[in-house]
């Protein structure tokens, strides 16, 4: 299996999750400004809610993915109040013709002004 990890963050929480996931997978966690050039079976995509939506940059990143290079997207991220961003990311993934894995990872994440992630994490399934 081949993996890539990309993330979008405004306040750093998603980067911390991405780095933990990437470490387990033995790959580097990169921001979504880094395109996925090599074919991968699974793209782990970290993202969060901002004003009840995912950032437009995340939508553009997902819709511009090459379906020949990305097998499936695994969604992960955090939000202060809302549940996961899965449906929002899936809307973009559908446009790109890329499947979403039904498994995902979602945390409660607070807006933090400290260098420490303050959250409560649980796997969806
Ligand atoms: C500008 C801004 C808007 C946010 N809007 C929402 C929101 O609408 N719903 C929600 O549940 N959380 C919201 N949050 C909380 C973030 O989703 C949460 O803190 C997340 O962990 C931030 O991830 P990041 O540190 O990777 O940017 C918002 C945070 C920021 C900074």
What distance in Å separates the CA atoms of residue 6 and residue 4, rounded to the nearest whole number? 7
The confidence score (pLDDT) of residue 123 equals: 53
> Is ligand 1 within 6 A of the CB of residue 14?
yes
Residue 107 · residue 121 · CB < 8 Å: yes
> Is ligand 1 within 6 A of the CB of residue 52?
yes
The mean pLDDT of the chain is 90
The confidence score (pLDDT) of residue 125 equals: 46
The confidence score (pLDDT) of residue 14 equals: 95
Which long-range contacts (C-beta less than 8 Å, at least 24 apart) are formed by 67-71? 67/96, 67/97, 67/98, 68/39, 69/36, 69/37, 69/38, 69/39, 69/40, 70/36, 70/39, 70/40, 70/43, 70/96, 70/98, 71/40, 71/41, 71/42, 71/43, 71/98, 71/99
Residue nearest to atom 17 of ligand 1 (CA): 79
User: 3-123: which CATH architecture?
Assistant: 3-Layer(aba) Sandwich (3.40)
Atom of ligand 1 nearest to the CA of 47: 26
Domain boundaries, the chain: 3-123
Atom of ligand 1 nearest to the CA of 49: 17
Residue nearest to atom 23 of ligand 1 (CA): 13
pLDDT per position in the chain (125 positions), as tens? Answer: 999 999 999 999 999 999 999 999 999 999 999 999 999 999 999 999 999 999 999 999 999 999 999 999 999 999 988 889 999 999 999 999 999 999 999 988 776 554 555 555 555 54
Residue nearest to atom 16 of ligand 1 (CA): 79
Q: What is the pTM of this model?
A: 0.91
What distance in Å separates the CA atoms of residue 22 and residue 98, rounded to the nearest whole number? 21
């Amino acid at each position: 299996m081949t993996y890539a990890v990309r993330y979008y963050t405004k306040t750093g929480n998603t980067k911390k999750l991405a780095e933990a996931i990437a470490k387990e997978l033995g790959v580097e966690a990169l921001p979504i400004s880094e395109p996925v050039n090599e074919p991968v079976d699974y793209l782990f995509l970290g993202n969060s809610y901002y004003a009840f939506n995912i950032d437009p940059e995340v939508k553009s990143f997902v819709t511009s993915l090459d379906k020949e290079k990305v097998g499936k997207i695994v969604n992960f991220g955090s939000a202060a109040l809302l549940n996961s961003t899965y449906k929002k990311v899936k809307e973009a993934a559908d446009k790109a013709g890329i499947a979403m894995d039904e498994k995902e990872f979602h945390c409660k994440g607070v807006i933090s002004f400290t260098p420490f992630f303050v959250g409560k994490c649980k796997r969806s399934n």
